[in-house]
């Protein structure tokens, strides 16, 4: 069994009265975990309030308060690809994450996440991610090493002072010419809860999308998100009619299945650039992980993945 040594956190959202019980909330928020499992965890003192005190089955639901718990999984999938440290000093750690590896513990992943791998390899227990990219996405992720300077670097992301560039491949009509789009809309959670959607209302998400080249039925895009909503680039690309290759969520949710390591999502966080709040120096970190466009097929032996990131095969006509 995988058991996290660091707590995860969930916030009880605002909801209409009468409030649900905490166990009802946890069961609905995490449908993959049976209600009796939550009951056992609570009775064993494994679910805590904001003051690190174990809650009970009778603890009242309080909107906007946080609950801390320790993730447990019976069988944890192994992700057979490695991360690469790009930079490490006393303040920050920049890493290139492989596809399929989550940044933090989630779902059926506890030890197999970037955060816990880095804690083991660097010996720095107090690491904290300053932003997130999706499990399916590869590329640059920045971590805070020093709790005292963490807020300075975190504000860079909160205030939109980090320049981000992504590369993507998407299905594209062979006659499509290079083009540019400035996409601005409102993104909110849809159904199921992990899938986002564009809705009417005040803009909270903005991206610029550049189609640089088309080969057959595949387009190569450069994406620059100017805000940081969950799945923002995937939603915006889908809305433009260019679903990113191998995307299981957009434009249509695909049936759940085990990861196919030969077909990674064709989205890579290529570059992070910002002015260091402590030194005033310009910082730039770049991922060299390939898209299918960039690299040849590397066949797996006997159907097993290679120990380096797979490149798969180009779609027909690419």
250 within 8 A of 231, measured Cβ to Cβ: yes
Q: What pLDDT score does 53 carry?
A: 93
Region of poorest pLDDT, from 36-45, 71-80, 81-90, 109-118 = 71-80
Break the chain down into helix, strand, coil percent, rounded to 5: 15, 30, 55
pLDDT(12) > 80? yes
State mean pLDDT over 67-96: 91
The model's pTM is 0.78
Q: Integer distance in angstroms from the first to the last C-alpha of the chain?
A: 43
Q: What is the pLDDT of residues 131-175, one digit of tens each?
A: 999 999 999 999 999 999 999 999 999 999 999 999 999 999 999
In whole angstroms, give the CA distance from residue 90 to residue 302.
43
Q: Which two tokens stand for residue 100?
A: 């399929």
Q: What is the pLDDT of residues 41-77, one digit of tens each?
A: 999 998 999 999 999 999 999 999 999 988 777 778 8
List the domains of the chain with CATH numbers.
2-73 (3.10.290.10), 84-286 (3.30.2350.10)
Comparing CA positions, the residue from 27, 101, 130 lying closest to residue 69 is 27
Beta strands in the chain (DSSP E): 2-3, 8-11, 47-48, 66-69, 72-73, 84-88, 92-97, 128-129, 138-144, 163-171, 179-189, 196-199, 205-215, 218-225, 267-275, 282-286
Angle between helices 22-29 and 35-43 (to 10 degrees): 130
């Amino acid at each position: 069994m995988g058991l996290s040594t660091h707590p995860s956190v969930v916030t009880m959202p605002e909801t209409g009265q009468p409030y649900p019980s905490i166990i009802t909330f946890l069961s609905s928020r995490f449908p993959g975990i049976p209600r009796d499992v939550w009951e056992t965890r609570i009775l064993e003192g494994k679910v805590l309030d904001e003051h690190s005190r174990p809650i009970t089955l009778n603890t009242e639901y309080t909107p906007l308060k946080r609950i801390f718990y320790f993730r447990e999984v019976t069988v944890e999938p192994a992700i057979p690809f490695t991360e690469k440290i790009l930079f490490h000093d006393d303040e920050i750690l920049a890493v290139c994450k492989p596809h399929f590896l989550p940044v933090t513990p989630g779902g059926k992943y506890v030890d197999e996440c970037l955060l816990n791998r880095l804690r083991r390899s660097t010996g720095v227990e107090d690491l904290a991610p300053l932003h997130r990219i999706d499990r399916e996405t590869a590329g640059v992720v920045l971590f805070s090493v020093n709790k005292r300077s963490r807020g300075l670097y975190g504000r860079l992301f909160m205030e939109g002072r980090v320049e981000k560039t992504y590369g993507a491949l998407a299905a594209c009509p062979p006659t499509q010419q290079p083009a540019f789009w400035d996409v601005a809309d409102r993104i909110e959670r849809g159904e199921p809860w992990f899938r986002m959607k564009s809705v009417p209302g005040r803009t909270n998400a903005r991206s610029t999308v550049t189609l640089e080249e088309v080969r057959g039925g595949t387009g190569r895009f450069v994406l620059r998100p100017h805000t940081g909503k969950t799945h923002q680039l995937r939603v915006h690309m889908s809305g433009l009619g260019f679903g990113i290759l191998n995307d299981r969520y957009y434009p249509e949710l695909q049936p759940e299945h085990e990861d196919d390591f030969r077909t990674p999502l064709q989205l890579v966080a290529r570059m992070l650039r910002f002015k260091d709040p402590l030194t005033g120096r310009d910082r730039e970190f770049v991922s060299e992980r390939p898209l299918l466009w960039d690299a040849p097929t590397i066949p797996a032996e006997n159907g097993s993945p290679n120990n380096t990131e797979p490149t798969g095969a180009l779609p027909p006509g690419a």
